[in-house]
């Protein structure tokens, strides 16, 4: 007997989300959006419960989670940092900003700082090309970034 261990609140939340979507297999992506929206990431147990509730194999859920870059199985930092690597940002030096962030945080892309404060990710185009290069810290967008500004931006969250 395989066991999915989750807290009561999570179980109830996930079951409710699935129910709202009619426990339909075709709704799996919408369900995952909502669940990740709540918990920030999709650990294995959560995927197993979603699969169970929607009546689909967990391999299919994982196949989806690992396909779409929006879904993640690693928890994000308290302040998730996303560096836009869209073309406009790239030609205006986004890579240098990313390198500087990696250097100052001491982590790679997709990782979380040991204190759990920051996580670093890349995304493709937030649609603020006018402000390129752009990074996001949580919901806040920082435009016209330069490697020099990295220190100041990080300082806001320390």
Q: Is 18 helix (H, G, I), strand (E, B) or coil?
A: helix
Q: Pick from 16, 22, 38, 66 the residue near other proteins by CB under 8 A.
A: 66
Contacts of 117 (CB under 8 A, 6+ apart): 77, 78, 79, 157, 158
For the beta sheet containing 79-84, the strands, ordered from the edge strand earlier in sequence to the opposite edge, are 118-123, 79-84, 135-137, 140-142
Query: SS3 for 107?
Result: coil
Contact pick of 40, 41, 58, 75 for other proteins (by CB under 8 A):
58
Asked if 146 interacts with other proteins (CB under 8 A), we say: no
Pick from 143, 149, 153, 157 the residue near other proteins by CB under 8 A.
143
Give 102-105 contacts, CB < 8 A, sequence gap 24+: 104/150, 104/151, 104/154, 105/81, 105/154
From residue 70 to residue 89, the character string flagging contacts with other proteins as x (rule: CB under 8 A) and all else as - is: xx-------------xxxx-
Q: Measured from the CB of residue 82, what is the shortest distance to other proteins in angstroms?
A: 9
CB closer to other proteins, 3 vs 155: 3
Least distance from C-beta 156 to other proteins, angstroms? 15
The minimum distance between CB 116 and other proteins, in angstroms, equals 16
- Cis amide leading into 98 (omega within 30): no
In the complex, the residues that contact other proteins under the rule CB under 8 A are 1-8, 11, 24-30, 32-33, 44, 47-49, 51-52, 56-64, 66-71, 85-88, 90-92, 123-132, 134, 141, 143
């Amino acid at each position: 007997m395989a066991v999915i261990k989750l807290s009561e609140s999570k179980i109830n939340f996930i079951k409710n989300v699935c129910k709202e979507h009619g426990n339909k297999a075709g709704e799996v992506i919408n369900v995952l959006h909502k669940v990740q929206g709540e918990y920030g990431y999709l650990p294995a147990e959560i995927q197993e419960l979603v699969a169970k509730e929607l009546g689909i194999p967990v391999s299919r859920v994982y196949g989806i989670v690992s396909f779409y870059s929006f879904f993640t199985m690693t928890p994000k930092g308290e302040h998730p940092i996303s560096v836009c690597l869209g073309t406009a940002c790239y030609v205006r030096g986004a890579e240098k900003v990313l390198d500087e962030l990696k250097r100052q945080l001491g982590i790679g892309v997709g990782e979380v700082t040991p204190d759990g404060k920051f996580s670093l990710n890349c995304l493709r185009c937030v649609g603020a090309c006018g402000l390129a290069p752009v990074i996001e810290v949580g919901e806040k967008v920082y435009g016209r970034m330069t490697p020099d500004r990295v220190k100041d931006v990080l300082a806001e969250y320390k």
